[in-house]
Amino acid sequence: MVKVAASSLRKGNVVDVDGKLYVILKLENIHPGKGTPVTQLDMRRISDGVKVSERWRTTESVEKAFVDERSFNFLYTDAEGYHFMNPDNYDQIVVTADVVGDMTVYLQDGMTVTLLTHEDVALSLELPARVTLEVVETEPVTKGQTASGSYKPAILSNGVRSMVPTYITVGTRIVVMTEDASFLERAKD
């Protein structure tokens, strides 16, 4: 454990509040009308998965727990959960569905992700920032449309919806940000 200011916390950090460990899901610093700034957090209690929200002064000192952060490769999913392997020592770890959440749609065979673990329990998963997916459904290109600034809805091969430039057609492989499925560029492969 180490004491840190609330404002220095980040998503994925683990904090100890009254002897219980929580993983931070979302965090925002709020500066209300020149008043005392406040760090507002959404957290998940590790022992039972209950979600809570909390507020600290940005300068308030908080107990931050040490966590391991390391790359794992995705193997498969079954009734037990999501199985990953440490490529250095071939150790496997099972991650529960509530940790994976809606990131599940982006997991691909062998994909390298980052797992945060505390005493061999996976607390959070971080996807690669970008993935390549195929466009499976979108309006056809109509005459007169160019590459300037307008977007249309599309459905990608993992079922996720995105907005793509009008010149993109069905079957095109594109790079999207896993954070919000936003279009980045046409895949170069």
Partner 1 sequence: MAARDDPPTAASWWRPEVHAARRPFLLTRNRMAAAFRGWFAQRDFLEVETAALQVSPGNEAHLHAFATEAIGPDGALSPLYLRTSPEFACKSLLAAGERRIFDFARVWRNRERGDLHSPEFTLLEWYRVGEPYETLMDDGAALLALAAETAGVRRLTFRGRSADPFAAPERLTLAEAFHRFAGVDLLATVQANGDTDRDALASAALAAGIRVAQDDTWADVFSRVLVARVEPALGLGRPTILCEYPISEAALARPKASDPRVAERFELYACGVELANCFGELTDPAEQRRRFELEMAEKARVYGERYPIDEDFLDALTLTPPASGAALGFDRLVMLAAGAERIDSVLWTPVART
DSSP letter for each residue of 77-127? EETTEEEEE-TTT--EEEE-HHHHGGGGGG--TT-EEEEEEETTEEEEEE-
Rounded Cα distance, 83 and 96, in Å: 9
Instruction: Identify which of 148, 150, 157 has the alpha carbon closest to the alpha carbon of residue 181.
Output: 157
Choices 57-65, 81-89, 93-101, 132-140 (CB under 8 A): range interacting with partner 1: 57-65
Choices 63-71, 90-98, 116-124, 142-150 (CB under 8 A): range interacting with partner 1: 142-150
In a 13 Å sphere around the CA of 46, the CA atoms on its Cβ side amount to 24
Instruction: Choose, by CB under 8 A, the member of 3, 10, 19, 33 that binds partner 1.
Output: 33
| 60 touches partner 1 (CB under 8 A) | yes
In the bound complex, what is the minimum distance in angstroms from residue 155's beta carbon to partner 1? 16
| 1 touches partner 1 (CB under 8 A) | no
Instruction: Choose, by CB under 8 A, the member of 57, 70, 87, 169 that binds partner 1.
Output: 57
| Residues of the shown chain interacting with partner 1 in the complex, contacts defined by CB under 8 A | 7, 28-38, 40, 54-60, 129, 147-152, 163, 165, 177, 179-180, 182-185
